[in-house]
Structure 1
Amino acid sequence: MEFVFDGHNDVLLRLWRNMRNGADPLAEFAMGTREGHIDGPRAKAGGLAGGLCAIYIPSGDLILKEPDANGHYHTPLASPLERAPSLDIAIEKLALAHRLDKAGAWRICRSTDEIRRAMEDGIFAAVVHMEGCEALDADLAALEVFYAAGLRSLGPVWSRNNAFGHGVPFAFPMSPDAGPGLTDLGFELVRACDRMGIAIDLAHITEKGFWDVAKTSDAPLIASHSNVHALTAVARNLTDRQMDAIRERQGIVGLNYAVTMLRPDARDDANTSLDLMVRHIDYMVERMGIDCVALGSDFDGATVPHDIADAAGNQKLVAALKYAGYASDDLAKLCRENWLRVLSKTWHEPR
């Protein structure tokens, strides 16, 4: 079995929602459930040894548009969120992550050494990520507190605008050049993350914001759960020029399992072949090299191919990649080693 460290999941969102409805999140993760994509038993069955677990604040007003007769759609950006309720939700999810850690259901990791030790111990290695920074204040005082509590990665925006920058809509076909980039506060946030050793995720930001980060940050460029725009022309996917910049900075792109970001027609149809996943991987490897490509499933946040189904199906993708000609060393890089390399450099770890 090839162990996988995954670049993005929304398991905290699912557990938090169920907790608010009276469920026990510790039992749901530790004992397993048929709901969603990730829990302890299914992660073990599929070799999912850990990943970046998102603190995401839901947008209640976002309703994805249905495709028109040509298969095209354009969902307007979700409305901006107020900070105070966003902070409350972020704290609730962070507290949930720590409850899972305290119960031994997973282990919050702050270094790549801790990730490797958790893998060796057979415990899910959770890295706390913030997807959209609506919970942060202009002075970035909350960033210091979240960092002390384990935050090691963040995306300045989700697919909505906030005080730090602008996000891309869910739209097809559409360029990621969909609006302005970072705000003045966004530039300050990027500089603070570089100083502190917090990874900056570009998965939902506009192309202008991508280049704003690239010119401001010295860290590897990271798109944790994105695919190839030339193959699937959704606004969330990366252009060749963006991938060239990621290669030059020795960064990383995590393959998003979302079928809308894999299929040439961008339809939300789980009847999607694993061959399309391999095709996106092949394209990225050819464009950026094997060292800059990894996995970023978006489990619990998207529709994934039915052949994968959930975390237990991860090894089906590994098998498809092996069948496509990827050798053992390449599979190790795609599944975990590339993520650990990029995180180690971003987190200022000694070599």
Structure 2
Amino acid sequence: MTLNVHAPLQPVFDGHNDLLLRLWLNESPDPVAQFLDGKTDEKSKGHLDLPRIKAGGFAGGLFAVFIPPASYMPQLKPNATPQPHDALEITHQQINLLQRIERQSAGRAKICRTVNEIESCIEQGVLAMVLHIEGAEAIDVSLGNLDEFYQLGLRSIGPLWNLPNQFGVGVTGDFPGSPDSGDGLTLAGLSLLRACNRKKILIDVSHMNEKAFWQTARFSDAPLVATHSNAHALCAQPRNLTDRQLAAIAESDGFVGVNFGNAFLRADGKRDADTPLEKIIQHIDYLLEKVGEDNVGLGSDFDGISVPEALGDVSGLPLLLQAMKQAGYNNALIEKLACRNWLKVLKQTWGV
């Protein structure tokens, strides 16, 4: 596929990345400077840095705080040993990295708290960063520190990751598998839903098991949003969404951000990077049919998963948009999928 390098870049707003985890794991003296300058070694460069973000037209997105289980640390840091983690401390350390990106960027990146701020950043070519928490282990059961996180910019929460926490049980299981993988939200989890509704914080269902999803559909008054999930009918990963779940998302005027992870795209569930961009288009096509053209966008999972080699990293986003055009999508639909649908659901949820 040949890219027209002279065409203006379509701004892309993205539903999920794990940049902050990658920077937190980076043992260099100043990983933020490396991100801003794009100067890092091949091993630790990941999918995102500011030069490649600019090259790909990545206008902004939800930047996740994620606390890896202690048992993952030897894999993430070969010299580390499993040990108890302080979820609150690690969360603040990763938020501090986001704040440092803003401070050290000299106006090139901003933590956004409203859709108006995001739109202003897009117009000015400033990276719009929204603080998201994936797995709410750092939030106490009494929700006493939720206000503090909100003041720091938190506007989106996935209460669960794959493992149980104080708010419920995340989706687990091998491929192929069902999202019906155990108990759902606890009483504390239901309280967190209500608190998020009151504060107009987006609730992400991407890592919820089926019971937690349906509890959220019943008790939350906000649109159902899956920031980085795909269609279970095309790839039977437990974390992908069933047709029944997609119908509920459509009924709530919610949203699905398509995940670029090979394991969530392929019918065989393999993490094989030899995955054509057309697999992403297939999931978009399916979701357009099930939830509508105003309710689908992108949720890359950059820096958190292996993506198609044909995409490579964030600088490859124009190739994906060109694949959409070759699939017959008109410019108006591409604009919706790339950015406008995200801004729509954020405004519905946040109110500003």
Question: 2:34 aligned to 15, 28, 31, which one?
Answer: 28
User: In structure 2, what is the equivalent of residue 57 of structure 1?
Assistant: 67
Given that 2:33 and 2:104 are in contact with CA atoms closer than 8 Å, whether structure 1 keeps it comes out as: no
The question of 1:140 aligning with 2:150 is answered no
User: In structure 2, what is the equivalent of residue 212 of structure 1?
Assistant: 215
User: In structure 2, what is the equivalent of residue 106 of structure 1?
Assistant: 109
SS at match of 2:174: strand
Given that 1:181 and 1:206 are in contact with CA atoms closer than 8 Å, whether structure 2 keeps it comes out as: yes
Quote the offset at 1:60 in angstroms: 3.1
User: In structure 2, what is the equivalent of residue 69 of structure 1?
Assistant: none
Gaps of 5+ in 1: 64-80
- Taking the TM superposition and a 5 Å limit, the aligned residue runs for 1:81-160 are 85-104=86-105, 105-160=108-163
User: In structure 2, what is the equivalent of residue 2 of structure 1?
Assistant: 10
Question: 1:194 aligned to 197, 209, 214, which one?
Answer: 197
- Taking the TM superposition and a 5 Å limit, the aligned residue runs for 1:284-323 are 284-323=287-326
Given that 1:225 and 1:256 are in contact with CA atoms closer than 8 Å, whether structure 2 keeps it comes out as: yes
Q: In structure 1, how many angstroms separate the alpha carbons of the residues matched to 2:173 and 2:226?
A: 16
Q: Which amino acid aligns with 2:49?
A: D
Percent sequence identity over matched residues? Answer: 49
User: In structure 1, what is the equivalent of residue 257 of structure 2?
Assistant: 254
SS at match of 1:49: strand
Given that 2:158 and 2:207 are in contact with CA atoms closer than 8 Å, whether structure 1 keeps it comes out as: yes
Q: Which amino acid aligns with 1:52?
A: L
Superimposed CA distance per residue, residues 259-313 of structure 1 (whole angstroms, 9 cap, x where no aligned partner): 0000000001100011111000000001111111100000000000001110000
Quote the offset at 1:112 in angstroms: 0.7
SS at match of 2:178: coil
* Deviating more after overlay: 100-109 vs 179-188: 100-109
User: In structure 2, what is the equivalent of residue 15 of structure 1?
Assistant: 23
Q: Which amino acid aligns with 1:125?
A: A
Quote the offset at 1:231 in angstroms: 0.5
Given that 2:173 and 2:181 are in contact with CA atoms closer than 8 Å, whether structure 1 keeps it comes out as: no
SS at match of 2:70: coil
Given that 1:110 and 1:127 are in contact with CA atoms closer than 8 Å, whether structure 2 keeps it comes out as: yes
SS at match of 1:253: strand
The question of 1:241 aligning with 2:244 is answered yes
Q: Which amino acid aligns with 1:282?
A: D
Q: In structure 2, how many angstroms separate the alpha carbons of the residues matched to 1:327 and 1:167?
A: 37
Given that 2:168 and 2:183 are in contact with CA atoms closer than 8 Å, whether structure 1 keeps it comes out as: yes
User: In structure 2, what is the equivalent of residue 181 of structure 1?
Assistant: 184
Q: In structure 2, how many angstroms separate the alpha carbons of the residues matched to 1:224 and 1:10?
A: 13
Quote the offset at 1:135 in angstroms: 0.3
Q: In structure 1, how many angstroms separate the alpha carbons of the residues matched to 2:109 and 2:22?
A: 16
Q: In structure 1, how many angstroms separate the alpha carbons of the residues matched to 2:69 and 2:173?
A: 13
Q: In structure 1, how many angstroms separate the alpha carbons of the residues matched to 2:328 and 2:168?
A: 40
Superimposed CA distance per residue, residues 137-159 of structure 1 (whole angstroms, 9 cap, x where no aligned partner): 01111111000010000000011
SS at match of 1:125: strand
Coordinate RMSD, CA, aligned: 1.3
Quote the offset at 1:170 in angstroms: 4.9
Given that 1:159 and 1:170 are in contact with CA atoms closer than 8 Å, whether structure 2 keeps it comes out as: no
Q: In structure 2, how many angstroms separate the alpha carbons of the residues matched to 1:156 and 1:26?
A: 27
List 4+ stretches of structure 1 deviating above 4 A.
none
Given that 2:59 and 2:125 are in contact with CA atoms closer than 8 Å, whether structure 1 keeps it comes out as: yes
Q: In structure 2, how many angstroms separate the alpha carbons of the residues matched to 1:170 and 1:338?
A: 31
SS at match of 1:61: helix
SS at match of 1:98: helix
Q: Which amino acid aligns with 1:103?
A: Q
Q: Which amino acid aligns with 1:234?
A: Q
Quote the offset at 1:26 in angstroms: 2.2
Quote the offset at 1:23 in angstroms: 3.4
Superimposed CA distance per residue, residues 202-249 of structure 1 (whole angstroms, 9 cap, x where no aligned partner): 001101100001111110100000000000001010000000010011
Q: Which amino acid aligns with 1:26?
A: V
Q: In structure 2, how many angstroms separate the alpha carbons of the residues matched to 1:286 and 1:159?
A: 28
User: In structure 2, what is the equivalent of residue 334 of structure 1?
Assistant: 337
SS at match of 2:86: helix
Quote the offset at 1:29 in angstroms: 1.4
Superimposed CA distance per residue, residues 142-188 of structure 1 (whole angstroms, 9 cap, x where no aligned partner): 11100001000000001111000111125201000111111000000
TM-score after normalising by structure 2:
0.91
